[in-house]
């Protein structure tokens, strides 16, 4: 560690500390009236530290449990890269604990990953999905309506045709045009001539 | 590397890159003399002594006397695993170690130690340094004005099941810290100043985030009359539904306060004043981020008088206010006979106010006995339905204000400038 690298943190490391071992042996652990434990360094003890009223020294068992907790904490791999932090953020997201604070402490922009935003995104997706569903439903209904209208129209047309046919059937023979009259007269004449010829036979 | 005969363990020569222990500058030429200084490992003990065999340093774990602060570390809140506790070696080298759930106890004990040292031998309480990590609190820490410093990646939050308390009470000098709720709703202002100390609040580079508040109406809540300074801070309300006060004073009489160069998101400044003076509210950025103002006639900067006294000589300048759901800036003498007097309101950019309602909000709104203000060089602009006037001198009780040289183009549906005051001067004119 070079001078000036960490201007506000001058770690208290002895020979063991430099080898990477924890240096908690000389710490004294206290607990407050609620049972919360905290550790106090030898330096502070040497300076004549006196615990607040109601704070008592922790039992060896409590001390062991606390140091174990610290050792476990120290042994865990911590997030180092942005990707690590993003993975962590997902983990935290699952736990529902993301907030502005965690975004800031990790230095990664989790704006779009916050629980609230995710809920909003999810809600937006759901809304969109529902909108599409609704649209499809409406389109289907509209189509059904159109088909039904067509069916009704078709039925009506068929009925109309039937009626027209019936009317047509009952309708008296139409008056012939002059040309048709001449043709008819000719036909009758021919038929009469034929009859005459038959009779003459 | 060759050794110097007769100097056991020593070097014949040392160049710039040979060792981390001797620091060389210059190259030995004219005008650039070669200077050698010892490079001391800051983790080493306090003293270097000169003995028969050469220089030596004191050993032992108790010899870190060069430290002028108390350090605190945490294993990290249980709710987060321990991912974000203090890393080794800083974790177990700290003076006080917390358990991640009741870290308030470790920090409070550091405050006590700092005060003990201050009372015994030192002219000021030693600084308390909070290492990197998430400090989970189950109760408030009363900082009592002791200087508090974080590593910036230091977050103070409430522990998983803890709610309904202020994180810090009465901080004095405080820097490089982040405060906010993380694992549970906090339901109180993260910071409250309720007991005066000899060390006035001075927050620099502090981030305060909240998802809403409870009993205390501000994220930083002052109920005392001490001068203070808040600068380079981020004060964010994450609810995005309604603006809440980011800095709130309750019926105070505060002289010489300074609120400089901060960022407010969904959070306003609400100074409920009794008889303060000489406030500087400068160069802050406000973003409304919601559709609901704090209450009806409020904006993002609110100076509201409660008593029958005079509040005077405030400067509100260089602020950027966008998307306020209500007004931009409000100066209200109140109904108690108080007088807001002689404010400088200069060079503010106020855009898109009146984000809610219809024809109801102004860029700059003066009401009550709001007198002799100098309002110049501001841009007020809003095409929102709620925008009414750019500058509104709203009442006959507003006397002798000087409103000129403001850009009020497209600043409200009713009129860009409304003057219902007494002897308001607007010559040479505003752009309307």
Task: Give the residue on B whose Cα is nearest the Cα of A23.
Answer: B92
What range does the domain containing A24 cover? 11-76
B181 contact A CB<8A = yes
Taking 60 as the threshold, does the pLDDT of residue A136 lie above it? yes
pLDDT recorded at residue A3:
25
Mean local confidence (pLDDT), B83-87: 78
Give chain B's mean pLDDT: 86
Q: Is the pLDDT higher at A131 or at A64?
A: A64
A173 contact B CB<8A = no
Taking 60 as the threshold, does the pLDDT of residue A92 lie above it? no
What range does the domain containing B357 cover? 217-419
Q: Do B43 and A10 touch (CB under 8 A)?
A: yes
Write out the two tokens for B29.
């030429």
The count of domains in chain A is 1
pLDDT recorded at residue A5:
27
Nearest residue, CB atoms, B41 vs list A1, A14, A32? A1
In terms of Cβ atoms closer than 10 Å to its own Cβ (0-12, 13-18, 19+), residue A70 is buried
Q: Do A10 and B108 touch (CB under 8 A)?
A: no
pLDDT recorded at residue B105:
96
Residue of A42, A79, A101 to mutate for B, most B C-beta atoms under 10 A: A101
Task: Say which residues have a Cβ less than 8 Å from residue B253's Cβ, sequence separation at least 6.
Answer: B225, B273, B274, B275, B276, B309
**Which of A 87-106 lie inside 8 A of B, CB atoms?**
88, 92, 95, 97, 99-102, 104-106
**pTM tops 0.80, yes or no:** no
DSSP at A59? P
User: What residues in B contact A48, CB-CB < 8 Å?
Assistant: 116, 120
Percentage of chain A with pLDDT > 70?
57
User: What residues in A contact B76, CB-CB < 8 Å?
Assistant: 73
Half-sphere exposure (CA, 13 Å, Cβ side) for B157? 34
- Helix (H) or strand (E) holding B330, with range, is strand B329-332
Q: Do A11 and B179 touch (CB under 8 A)?
A: no
Q: Do A32 and B70 touch (CB under 8 A)?
A: no
Q: Is the pLDDT higher at B132 or at A103?
A: B132
User: What residues in A contact B182, CB-CB < 8 Å?
Assistant: 97, 99, 101-102
Q: Is the pLDDT higher at B196 or at B277?
A: B277
With beta carbons less than 8 A apart as the criterion, state whether B179 and B156 touch: yes
Decide if A153 is inside a domain: no
With beta carbons less than 8 A apart as the criterion, state whether B246 and B274 touch: no
Task: Give the residue on A whose Cα is nearest the Cα of B236.
Answer: A100
Q: Is the pLDDT higher at B260 or at B43?
A: B260
Radius of gyration of chain A from Cα atoms?
Answer: 50
Indicate the length of chain B as a whole number: 432
The count of domains in chain B is 1
User: What residues in B contact A1, CB-CB < 8 Å?
Assistant: 41-43
Decide if B107 is inside a domain: no
Decide if A53 is inside a domain: yes
Decide if A42 is inside a domain: yes
Model pLDDT for residues B220-256, shown as the tens digit of each residue: 998 887 889 999 999 988 776 789 999 999 888 888 9
> Is the backbone peptide bond immediately before B428 cis, with ω within 30 degrees of 0?
yes
Q: What are the beta bridge partners of residue B407?
A: B379, B431
Going by pLDDT thresholds of 50, 70 and 90, the confidence category of residue B69 is confident
Percentage of chain B with pLDDT > 70?
86
- Helix (H) or strand (E) holding B281, with range, is strand B280-282
Task: Say which residues have a Cβ less than 8 Å from residue B349's Cβ, sequence separation at least 6.
Answer: B319, B320, B321, B322, B378, B379
Decide if A132 is inside a domain: no
- Helix (H) or strand (E) holding A74, with range, is helix A60-75
Nearest to B328 by CA among B391, B266, B238: B391
Decide if B355 is inside a domain: yes
B79 contact A CB<8A = yes
Distance (Å, rounded) from C-alpha A130 to C-alpha A136? 10
pLDDT recorded at residue A7:
29
Mode of pairing for the β-strands spanning B154-158 and B173-180: parallel
Model pLDDT for residues B2-39, shown as the tens digit of each residue: 333 334 444 455 565 555 566 677 777 777 777 777 66
pLDDT recorded at residue A26:
82
Decide if A15 is inside a domain: yes
Nearest residue, CB atoms, B75 vs list A51, A73, A100? A73
> Of A89-98, B180-189, B344-353, which gets the smallest average pLDDT?
A89-98
Mode of pairing for the β-strands spanning B35-38 and B202-210: unpaired
User: What residues in B contact A39, CB-CB < 8 Å?
Assistant: 96-97, 106
Decide if A86 is inside a domain: no
Give the start-end residues of each E strand in B253-343: 258-260, 263-265, 267-273, 280-282, 285-287, 301-305, 310-312, 315-317, 320-322, 329-332, 339-341
**A-B interface: how many C-beta pairs under 8 angstroms?**
187
Model pLDDT for residues A142-173, shown as the tens digit of each residue: 888 888 888 888 888 888 888 888 887 777 66
pLDDT recorded at residue A115:
60
């Amino acid at each position: 560690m070079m001078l000036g690298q960490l201007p506000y943190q001058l770690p208290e490391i002895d020979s063991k500390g430099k080898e990477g071992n924890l240096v908690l042996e000389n710490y004294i652990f206290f607990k407050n009236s609620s049972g919360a434990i905290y550790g106090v360094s030898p330096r502070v003890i040497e300076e004549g530290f006196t615990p607040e009223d109601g704070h008592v020294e922790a039992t060896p068992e409590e001390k062991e449990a606390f140091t174990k907790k610290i050792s476990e904490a120290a042994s865990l791999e911590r997030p180092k890269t942005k990707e690590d932090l993003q993975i962590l953020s997902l983990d935290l997201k699952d736990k529902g604990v993301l907030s502005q604070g965690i975004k800031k402490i990790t230095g990664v922009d989790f704006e779009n990953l916050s629980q609230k935003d995710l809920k909003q995104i999810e809600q937006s997706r759901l809304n969109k999905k529902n909108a599409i569903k609704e649209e499809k439903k409406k389109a289907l209904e509209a189509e059904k309506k159109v088909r039904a209208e067509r069916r009704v129209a078709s039925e009506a047309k068929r009925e109309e045709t039937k009626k027209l046919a019936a009317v047509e059937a009952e309708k008296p023979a139409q008056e012939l045009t002059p040309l048709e009259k001449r043709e008819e007269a000719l036909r009758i004449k021919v038929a009469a001539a034929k009859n005459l010829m038959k009779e003459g036979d | 590397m060759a050794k110097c005969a007769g100097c056991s363990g020593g070097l014949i020569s040392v160049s710039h890159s040979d060792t981390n222990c001797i620091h060389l500058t210059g190259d030995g030429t004219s005008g650039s003399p070669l200077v050698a200084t010892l490079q001391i490992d800051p983790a080493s003990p306090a003293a270097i002594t000169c003995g028969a065999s050469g220089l030596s340093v004191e050993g032992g774990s108790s010899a870190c006397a060069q430290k002028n602060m108390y350090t605190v570390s945490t294993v990290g809140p249980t709710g987060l695993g321990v991912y974000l506790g203090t890393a080794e070696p800083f974790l177990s080298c700290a003076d006080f170690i917390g358990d991640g759930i009741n870290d308030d106890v470790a920090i409070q004990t550091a405050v006590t130690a700092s005060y003990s040292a201050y009372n015994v031998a030192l002219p000021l309480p030693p600084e308390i340094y909070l290492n990197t990590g998430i400090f989970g609190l189950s109760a408030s820490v009363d900082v009592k004005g002791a200087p508090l410093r974080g590593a910036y990646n230091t977050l103070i939050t409430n522990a998983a099941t803890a709610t309904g308390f202020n994180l810090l009470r009465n901080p004095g000098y405080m820097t490089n810290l982040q405060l906010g709720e993380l694992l549970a709703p906090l339901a109180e202002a993260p910071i409250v100043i309720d007991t005066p100390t000899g060390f006035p609040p001075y927050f620099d580079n502090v981030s305060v985030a909240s998802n809403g508040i409870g009993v205390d109406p501000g994220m930083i809540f002052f109920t005392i009359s001490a001068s203070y300074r808040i600068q380079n801070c981020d004060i964010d309300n994450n609810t995005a539904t309604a603006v809440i006060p980011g800095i709130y004073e309750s019926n105070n009489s505060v002289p010489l306060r300074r609120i400089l160069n901060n960022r407010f998101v969904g959070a306003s400044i609400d100074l409920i004043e009794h008889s303060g003076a000489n406030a500087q509210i400068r160069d802050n950025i406000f973003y409304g981020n919601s559709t609901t103002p704090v209450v009806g006639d409020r904006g993002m900067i609110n100076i509201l008088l409660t008593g029958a006294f005079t509040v005077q000589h405030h400067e509100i300048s260089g602020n950027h206010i966008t998307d306020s759901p209500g007004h931009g800036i409000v100066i209200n003498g109140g109904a108690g006979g108080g007088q807001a007097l002689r404010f400088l309101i200069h060079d503010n950019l106020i855009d898109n106010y009146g984000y809610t309602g219809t024809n109801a909000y102004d860029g700059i709104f003066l009401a009550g006995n709001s007198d002799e203000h100098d309002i110049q060089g501001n841009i007020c602009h809003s095409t929102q339905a709620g925008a009414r006037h750019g500058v509104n001198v709203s009442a006959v009780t507003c006397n002798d204000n000087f409103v000129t040289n403001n850009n009020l183009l497209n600043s409200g549906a009713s009129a860009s400038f409304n003057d219902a005051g007494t002897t308001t001067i607007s010559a040479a004119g505003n752009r309307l």
